[in-house]
Amino acid sequence: MWKKFKLLGVMLATSLLFLSACNGGTETNNGSNSKNKSEVNISVVLKTLSTPHWKYVEAGAKDAGKKLGVNVTVVGPPSESEVMQQVNMIEDQLSQAPNGIAVAPIQAATVISALSGKNLPMLTIDTDSDFEGKLSYIGSDNYSVGKTAAELLIKKLNKGDKVAIIIGALGNPAIDERAKGAREAFKAAGIEVVAEQPADSDKAKAMSVMENILQTHRDIKAVYVGSDDMAIGALRAIKAAGLDIMVVGTDGNEEAVKSIIEGGLYGTIAQKPYDMGYLAVENLLKAINGEKIEPRIDSGLDIVTSENAEEFLEFLKSLEK
């Protein structure tokens, strides 16, 4: 590179080399200076690491790191209700100067305050949030998740039937969108939603919430639940009450799929969390190296019922190897 400057003299060459040394180790705001992969550090902050859904996201992110040869750190609070702990984790990861960061925000507003305007490639996964500097959102369309779940149940329901919806923590954008999609699909089909309650994405709380719903509405025909853990909890309450009510969850985790095979849950809407994690790291690396990435990357959906549950279970087990 420097050969064409030889005739300009030693002093000029020395000056150029000095400037190169000063600037070569830093990246521009858009990550246009490509780095050696082994030097790239990517942070992934999830809503939690305590449930199967998020463990699949973690597995995808770490597998991408291994395949692409970059360093990946994945963290998350103990539960999806720990909003401020997630914010603290984001700030802690930023203090370590990663080359890029992906966040699954529990609450949009808190993430905006933590990330807005930061000078590195940033994207959201699973749940979107708009803030200055965000490059992309990777995940399913959560409205479509709820709508798809409701439509699966509607095929087995009659106009005028009653249903319930159990959601996660209030204020969680992904859960809110899922509930909205299901609610509007039920309404369009003439199905009455007689109860809609939060259970904080917790199995035990969902069981208690379902028990409370059944005290007033034992005649419901189906329940849409915003996560598989909560769906399992709701199903336990239904079985304990001796009732036969269809339950569809969300996430496509192993426990839910086994329940479908055993005749428990009617179905689950799988969001391909492994793909979310993998795509997050893959696209952050592209952005770090100055490549343009799409502002919206759909990780897709799978509808899991008794017809394909065995096959889907084999796929989930393959992720654990």
Above 60 in pLDDT, residue 56? Answer: yes
pTM: 0.71
Task: Summarize pLDDT for 24-36 with one digit per residue, the tens.
Answer: 333 333 444 455 6
Q: What is the pLDDT of residue 67?
A: 97
End-to-end CA distance of the chain: 47
Element holding 178 (H helix, E strand): helix 173-188
Above 70 in pLDDT, residue 48? Answer: yes
CA angle 155, 159, 164 (to 5 degrees): 75
196 vs 3: which has the higher pLDDT: 196
Q: What is the mean pLDDT of the chain?
A: 88
Rounded CA separation 189/261 (Å): 28
The yes/no answer on whether domain 142-270 falls in CATH 3.40.50.2300 is yes
Rounded CA separation 182/166 (Å): 11
DSSP string, 202-267: -HHHHHHHHHHHHHH-TT--EEEESSHHHHHHHHHHHHHTT---EEEEEE--HHHHHHHHTT-SSE
Q: What is the pLDDT of residue 37?
A: 64
Instruction: Give the phi and the psi of residue 270 in degrees, each rounded to 5.
Output: -90, 130
Angle at which helices 173-188 and 142-154 pack, to 10 degrees?
40
List the domain boundaries for the chain. 28-139+273-299, 142-270
Pairing of strands 246-251, 296-298: unpaired
Q: What is the pLDDT of residue 34?
A: 54
What sign has the CA pseudo-torsion 284, 285, 287, 293?
Answer: negative
DSSP class of residue 29?
A: T
Fold of domain 28-139+273-299: Rossmann fold (3.40.50)
Helix (H, G, I), strand (E, B) or coil at 303: strand
Task: Summarize pLDDT for 188-236 with one digit per residue, the tens.
Answer: 999 999 999 999 889 999 999 999 999 999 999 999 999 999 999 999 9
Check for a shared fold between 28-139+273-299 and 142-270.
Answer: yes
| 25-39, 58-72, 271-285: least confidently modelled range | 25-39
Task: Summarize pLDDT for 128-175 with one digit per residue, the tens.
Answer: 888 999 999 999 888 999 999 999 999 999 999 999 999 988 877 788
